[in-house]
Amino acid sequence: MNALARRLEQRLEQIRAADLYRVRRIIDGAHGVQIRVDGRSCINFCSNDYLGLAADPRVAAAARRALDASGTGSGAAALVSGYNREHCALEEALAAFLRRPRALLFSSGWAANLGVLRALLGKNDMLIADELNHASLIDGGRLSGATYVRVAHANGAAYAAALARTAGRSDTDLVLVATDGVFSMDGDLAPLPELVRLCAAHDAVLMVDDAHGLGVLGAGGRGIAEHWSALCGETLVPQIQVATLGKALGCGGAFVAGDEALIEYLIQRARSWVFSTAPPPALAAAARAALAIVASDEGAHRRARLLANVERFRTGCRQCGIAMTDSATPIQPLILGSETATLALSRRLFEAGFWVAAIRPPTVPPGTSRLRITLSAAHTEAQIDRLVEVLAQGIEARAA
């Protein structure tokens, strides 16, 4: 056994011993509410398919039409020969939907966040970021070379203190505040009104990754900015908006939305965009079809049903004495703390016909292992009620 193999085997054994070993599960067929996990039929309660569009036949039909017209791949980066008419149409549709001047399509949310932060920031700049931001924002900030300041989670006072320390900087130095819109593991929201106000007062740029808000929050499904704008009575517009197409839109890829200068600069300097093969045109066509549903009356009905499902789940948990966080989004974490207990409850649910993956460190901080339960507009009331029942039985059995 060589040195690399010895090191890896030792570290893998440490991961197994700590109940932190991860195993991929094979899903057969469509990724909807009803799925087959390792050959077993399950109700899926850990997907980000919030509106039930991942298996929608209209979205698939749009992809098939584009496959017939444009083939399976784009063949090159967008600046070479990979920029298909479908990519252009999707970018224009996203910009119009969000009421922003431009949008730029990326292959993934990870690529989008890294591309933005590395393109905009350098060693003389500062990034102020929530401590619970997505890993792509964390890694993008570290790789940018900027001074990285982590602030307490969703804490307006901590942001204010960090921004106050930027007074007197050079006009050529950039201060960028980056936050998730909806935090992916806790389901709570960034304090957007306060962040917009603070950034304006300190001439800082605000970047919001709204991966879990797009399609879900706001009367029109435009995400966290629309949600908060309605609550505070003023239009809130982060300079940089990032979101993915693989969650509420049920497809894949991501985008950055902003003004003309931002998008043109990213086209010139975002390395994860410049040096990546453009996404398949069929994927862009599918996302555009999903976006049309999100923007329609049907999309509004799906959001209403989703919120009703969230409330039904939370009400059921309260009635059964299950302690949940105060998240009002489709992300409903049940924090158990222990990795062993989390794995055990996940297995119990699987045996009862529910798929809820165990989330453990390093995805979440040590001591906060959890079941990240997510609701969809496609779940039925009976499925939600049965999940609550099995959860209550599992928690009761653990306490006995």
Which of 250, 274, 294 is the last residue in one of the domains?
A: 294
Judge if 194 and 94 occupy the same domain. Answer: yes
Question: What does the radius of gyration of the chain's CA atoms come to, in whole angstroms?
Answer: 22
Measuring CA to CA, how many Å separate 76 from each of 79, 96, 275, 278, 371? 8, 27, 9, 6, 40
The answer to whether residue 18 sits within a structural domain is no
The answer to whether residue 2 sits within a structural domain is no
For residue 33, the domain's CATH number is 3.90.1150.10
Judge if 78 and 37 occupy the same domain. Answer: no
For 90-132, the pLDDT digits (tens) are 999 999 999 999 999 999 999 999 999 999 999 999 999 999 9
The answer to whether residue 15 sits within a structural domain is no
Which of 294, 329, 361 is the last residue in one of the domains?
A: 294
Judge if 102 and 122 occupy the same domain. Answer: yes
Q: Which two tokens stand for residue 186?
A: 């806790």
Q: Which residues are annotated as a binding site for substrate?
A: 22, 134, 363
Catalytic choice (212, 272, 346, 379): 212
Which of 253, 278, 294 is the last residue in one of the domains?
A: 294
Q: Which domain holds residue 376?
A: 25-50+298-399
- Give the total number of structural domains in the chain: 2
Residue in the structure block whose two tokens are 């932190």: 20
For 359-373, the pLDDT digits (tens) are 999 999 999 999 999
Chain centre distance of CA 217: 13
Read off the pLDDT of each residue in 235-260 and give the average, rounded to a whole number: 97
Judge if 275 and 354 occupy the same domain. Answer: no
Judge if 195 and 306 occupy the same domain. Answer: no
How far apart CA 262 and CA 272 sit, in angstroms, is 15
The helix/strand/coil state of 292 is helix
Judge if 93 and 167 occupy the same domain. Answer: yes
Judge if 83 and 201 occupy the same domain. Answer: yes
How far apart CA 205 and CA 281 sit, in angstroms, is 32
For residue 119, the domain's CATH number is 3.40.640.10
Q: Which residues are annotated as a binding site for pyridoxal 5'-phosphate?
A: 184, 212, 244
Query: Looking only at Cα atoms, what is the longest distance across the chain?
Result: 65
Sheet order of strands, 205-209 included = 102-106, 254-258, 240-244, 205-209, 175-180, 126-130, 147-151
Q: Catalytic annotation on 184?
A: yes
pLDDT the model gives residue 287:
98
Q: Which two tokens stand for residue 214?
A: 């797009």
Cα first-last separation, the chain: 46
pLDDT band at 272 (very low <50, low <70, confident <90, very high): very high
pLDDT band at 308 (very low <50, low <70, confident <90, very high): very high
For 145-196, the pLDDT digits (tens) are 999 999 999 999 999 999 999 987 887 799 999 999 999 999 999 999 999 9
3-state DSSP helix/strand/coil % of the chain, to nearest 5: 45, 15, 40
The answer to whether residue 400 scores a pLDDT higher than 70 is no
Q: Catalytic annotation on 123?
A: no
The answer to whether residue 151 sits within a structural domain is yes
Q: Counting beta carbons within 10 angstroms of the beta carbon of residue 224, is it exposed (0 to 12), middle (13 to 18) or buried (19 or more)?
A: buried
For 153-164, the pLDDT digits (tens) are 999 999 999 999
- Looking at this protein, which amino acid is placed at residue 82? G
Residue in the structure block whose two tokens are 């040096």: 275
Spatial contact of 91 and 102, defined as CB atoms under 8 Å apart: yes
Q: Catalytic annotation on 296?
A: no
Percent of the chain with pLDDT strictly greater than 70: 100
Q: Which two tokens stand for residue 16?
A: 């197994």
Q: Which residues are annotated as a binding site?
A: 22, 134, 184, 212, 244, 363
pLDDT band at 266 (very low <50, low <70, confident <90, very high): very high
Read off the pLDDT of each residue in 201-213 and give the average, rounded to a whole number: 97
The answer to whether residue 316 scores a pLDDT higher than 80 is yes
Spatial contact of 359 and 367, defined as CB atoms under 8 Å apart: no
Judge if 94 and 215 occupy the same domain. Answer: yes
pLDDT band at 85 (very low <50, low <70, confident <90, very high): very high
